[in-house]
Structure 1
């Protein structure tokens, strides 16, 4: 299949990348870009590129902005997924993205840690969650021909540990940021109880490592 590491361009895509690079540590910014590339490879693998619901620019926005809620722009007053979705929506709105498309991106980001729900909320939510999941080693065989090149361009830099650090730090700021059974709440509980989380253990055991 034809594939390249060239990212979308234009005012919106440039703003998406600039926002992430300015507000997230490099390991998380790299994770976000890899998630887009893996999601795009998954879309090609499953024959979705010609689907009427497939929109490369929206997929770029949803995947690359999905962790804004653990960056410096997020106050830690609500679940990181929701704060990230709100920040992404504000950015898209400033670039005159139509409201129905903003809502799709908001939903994809807000649900990216919700297995069994995101996959049933349309192609954008599905590809966003699965692209992120591939970066944690799920369905690794789909991207086996490209993962080395992608990782060379966007190194992991102990991504899992730095992501958990950021999620836990924000979850500890308020009860609303770490409701029971949310990812933030569970990671905070695991860190306090065991010192290491199940997410970190799973990432270390994955094909890519942390």
Structure 2
């Protein structure tokens, strides 16, 4: 039977169960619990805003959104968000999911660290980012009831020192390809964790380009 947490029913389809098992087998406990919480925060946001969303697509987006941080799914030269999106795409294709739904989940994962854009897109895309922003950044924290926050975290705990540990997970997932953080928030992670890291500068790239003027 499907599990219900904070009034949100966890999808119980074959593809959802398979995704859960894959993530459990691939990610550690911190990332697994984080991904599950992202689903609940996203779904609760959708309920609060009256959005018509597909719970299964939201679940797949939430569960795969950090897969690109894992060794198994990390590429040598793509943003970790794209690696996770590509993993979700391949997984969903194997289940015959319609291309439009695959593209929504792909986009949701690829854009989940790009603030200011997903919120204006279709519900799956907007709500994955909303869930991530709640769990990592505490955005809209007070829009969730104490009871809902307690119930979700009772089932999927935020471990002690989660804030520092999630930053460590980000760093471990991107430290070998710092160039992929240009223009996105993960550059802040490298600036904090690697004293030798030097940010690429957008204006410098313009001024030093091959164009004569």
What band does the TM-score fall into relative to the shorter chain? 0.7 to 0.9
Report the equivalent of 2:209: none
Superposed CA deviations along residues 104-157 of structure 1, whole A, max 9, x for unmatched, are 000000000001111122221111111111213211122213110111110011
Equivalent residues in 2 for 1:1-210 (5 A)? 3-4=6-7, 6-48=9-51, 51=52, 54-77=53-76, 78-136=78-136, 137-144=138-145, 145-157=147-159, 158-176=161-179, 178-193=180-195
1:28 to partner: Cα distance: 1.0
Unaligned runs of 5+ in 1: 195-210
Is the partner of 1:146 in helix, strand or coil? helix
Partners of 2:152 and 2:177 in 1: how far apart? 36
Cα 1:105/1:179, change in 2 over 3 Å: same
Partners of 2:81 and 2:97 in 1: how far apart? 20
Partners of 2:187 and 2:181 in 1: how far apart? 5
TM-score, scaled to structure 2: 0.81
1:175 to partner: Cα distance: 4.2
Partners of 1:99 and 1:60 in 2: how far apart? 17
TM-score, scaled to structure 1: 0.82
Partners of 2:175 and 2:6 in 1: how far apart? 41
Give the RMSD, CA atoms, in angstroms. Answer: 1.9
**8 Å CA contact retained: 1:13, 1:61:** yes
Superposed CA deviations along residues 32-80 of structure 1, whole A, max 9, x for unmatched, are 11111111111111112xx3xx111101111121111112322342111
| Greater Cα radius of gyration, structure 1 or 2 | 2
